[in-house]
Amino acid sequence: MKAISIFGLGYVGLCTAACFADRGFKVIGVDIDENKVKLLARGNSPIYEPGLEPTLRMATKAGRFLPTTDAKSALDSSDISIITVNTPSKAGGGIDLKHVESAARNVGSAMRESTNYHLVVIRSTVTPGTTQNVVKPILERFSLKSCGRDFGLCMNPEFLQEGDAIRGVLEPDRIVIGEFDKRSGDELKKLYRDFYREKMPPLIRTNLSTAEMIKYANNAFLATKISFINFIAGLCEKVEGADVELVAKAIGMDHRINPKFLRAGAGFGGSCFPKDVKALINFSRDLDLEPVLLEDVLKTNEGQAAHMVELAKNKLGELREKRVALLGLSFKPETDDIREAPSIKIIKRLLKEGAEVVVYDPAAMNNVRKIFANKIAHANSSIGTLAGADCCMIVTEWAEFSKLSPDDFKAKMKNALVIDGRRIYNPEVFSKKLDYVAIGLGGKRGKWARI
C-alpha cells in the first residue's frame, strides 16, 4: 500500500488523513504549526468534525498517522504528497496563494535528494491555471527535477461539507482527477482504487485546469441555487398565501433540479461559498468576462441578511432601543464556525439601527463574543434569549430551536414577534398564536398549504 504525506492539517487535510489512515494507509501529516502537530501527536483534533477525533486517535495509536513539521522526512517515507493548505481571500476577492506556494517550495526542496518518482497532488481550491503555471514551476525549481519525468502532478478537488466531511471522503459522489500526464493520473487512480476497492466512486479524469474549474463551478452553482430560491422567496412574500417551501419542494421533485440546496433563508455563509464565488468573479474579470450572474448571486445573498432586519422594521418600526433576540449564530448548524455567517451581518445592522441585541447559539458563543464583546448580550439558553424581547429572529436552524413552542415565545417575550429566517416552524401553528413572519411566506390571508 502507498504511503501518503498530507501537507496542511486543516479541515480537509485532517479528514482525508484520518480516513486513509483508518483504512490501513501510512499517512504522514505535515504542518508548519508546531502546537497543532503536538496536539495531534497526543491524539487530539484541533478542529471539531463529527467522527474525526476518534478516527485520528486510533490511527495515531496504531502508528498509521504521524504528524510532523518535517517535510523532508515525510517525503522520504511516502510515495504521494497531497497539498491541502487553505487559499484565503485577498482584499480584491482573488485568492491568496501564499500557503500553496510555500507548501510547493517545501515539497520541491524535499524531493531534491530523492531518486524515486513522487506524485504531488493539489487538493487546495485554486483558480484554473494555478497548478500548471504556479505550482509546477515552483516544484521544478526547488526540486531541480522535471515534472512528468521525475515526478507526477495532479489536481484533485475536494467537495467536503463541514459536519459531513468524513462521509464526504468515504462516499463522494465522484472523484475528479486533473492530471499533468497519464502516468500522474494513473498513480492517483491506483491510490483511490486501493482506498475504495469494490466501492470505487465514479471517476472523471481530465486536465489540470478543468479539474480546478470543476471545484469553482460546483460551489458557484450551489450558491446560485440558494440565491435563486431566496429570490423566489422574496417574490412569495409579496404574493398573498404563496409559500416558498412548497415551491422548493415541488420544483425539487423535477429530477433535473433536485431538492438539495433549495432551502430559502437568511443566506449562505461559511469559508467556501462566499470566498469561491468572489474568486470566480475576480477570475472572470481578469479574463474580461462580466460575471453578472455571480455578482447577483452575492448581492442577493447579502440582501438576505438586510432583509431579515427589514422584516423586523416592518413590524416594529424604528428598532432603536428595541430588544432583538437572535437564535443561531454559526453559518450552519452543528458547527461553531461563524465565518461569513449571516448572523454577523444581521447583528451589525441591528446595532447600527440602535437595537439592543441578545444572542444564543449552542456552539458559536465564544467566537461571536470575540467580535462583539459587550456590545451585545449573551444568553445561556434559547429560552433565556427570549426574556423581554420585542422580536426573535431564527438565523441558524439548530435542532433545539425547533422544540420551542409558540407558548415559550409568548411566555418570555415582551412582544411575541418571531421572524423565522430558516423556516423551522409550522406557519399554521405559529401564526395562530403569535406574530409570525417567515422568509418566503406570503400574506396571512391565503391558505397555508401543507407540506
In whole angstroms, how close is the CB of 418 to ligand UGA at the nearest point? 19
Q: Give the per-residue contact string, 116-145, with ligand UGA (x = CB under 6 A; - = no).
A: ---------x--------------------
- C-beta of residue 264 within 8 angstroms of C-beta of residue 228: no
Binding residue count for ligand UGA, defined by CB under 6 A: 21
182: CB partners within 8 A, 6+ apart? none
Any contact of residue 71 with ligand UGA (CB under 6 A)? no
Residue selected from 49, 79, 162, 245 as contacting ligand UGA according to rule CB under 6 A: 162
Any contact of residue 412 with ligand UGA (CB under 6 A)? no
Can you tell me whether residue 441 is helix, strand or coil? strand
Write down the catalytic residue from 236, 272, 391, 392: 272
Closest contact distance (angstroms) between CB of 133 and ligand UGA is: 22
d(CA 40, CA 444): 54
> Quick one: cell of 197?
476497492
**147 in catalytic set:** no
CB of 410 to ligand UGA, least distance (A): 28
Q: How far apart are CA 92 and CA 400, in angstroms?
A: 39
Q: Which amino acid is at 333?
A: P
Q: How far apart are CA 16 and CA 418, in angstroms?
A: 41
Neighbours of 86 (CB within 10 A): 17
CA distance 28 to 79: 11
Looking at 20, 151, 159, 180, which residue binds ligand UGA (CB under 6 A)? 159
Residue 277, C-beta contacts closer than 8 angstroms, at least 6 positions apart: 219, 220, 223, 294, 297, 298
User: Which position among 118, 136, 145, 332 is part of the footprint of ligand UGA (CB under 6 A)?
Assistant: 332
Is residue 297 classed exposed, middle or buried when 0-12, 13-18 and 19+ CB atoms within 10 A define those classes? buried
Contact 27, 6 (CB under 8 A): yes
Among 151, 180, 195, 268, binds ligand UGA (CB under 6 A): 268
In the complex, minimum distance from the CB of residue 86 to ligand UGA, in angstroms, rounded to a whole number: 10
Let me know: does 279 contact 285? Beta carbons within 8 Å: no
Residues in 72-91 that interact with ligand UGA by CB under 6 A: none
Binding segment for ligand UGA among 98-106, 110-118, 155-163, 171-179 (CB under 6 A)?
Answer: 155-163
By the rule CB under 6 A, 265 interacts with ligand UGA: yes
Helix (H) or strand (E) holding 113: none
Q: Which range in 15-23, 75-83, 128-136, 268-276 contacts ligand UGA by CB under 6 A?
A: 268-276
For ligand UGA, the binding residue among 8, 108, 128, 270 (CB under 6 A) is 270
Minimum distance, C-beta of residue 301 to ligand UGA, in the bound complex (Å)? 9
**What is the C-alpha to C-alpha distance for residues 67 and 38, in angstroms, rounded to an integer?**
8
Identify which range of 39-47, 262-270, 410-418, 439-447 contacts ligand UGA by CB under 6 A: 262-270
At residue 16, the 3 state secondary structure works out as helix
Shortest Cβ distance from residue 380 to ligand UGA (Å)?
A: 24
As annotated, the active-site residues are: 272
Q: Which residues in this chain contact ligand UGA in the complex, by CB under 6 A?
A: 125, 158-162, 219, 222, 226, 261-263, 265, 268-270, 272-273, 276, 331-332
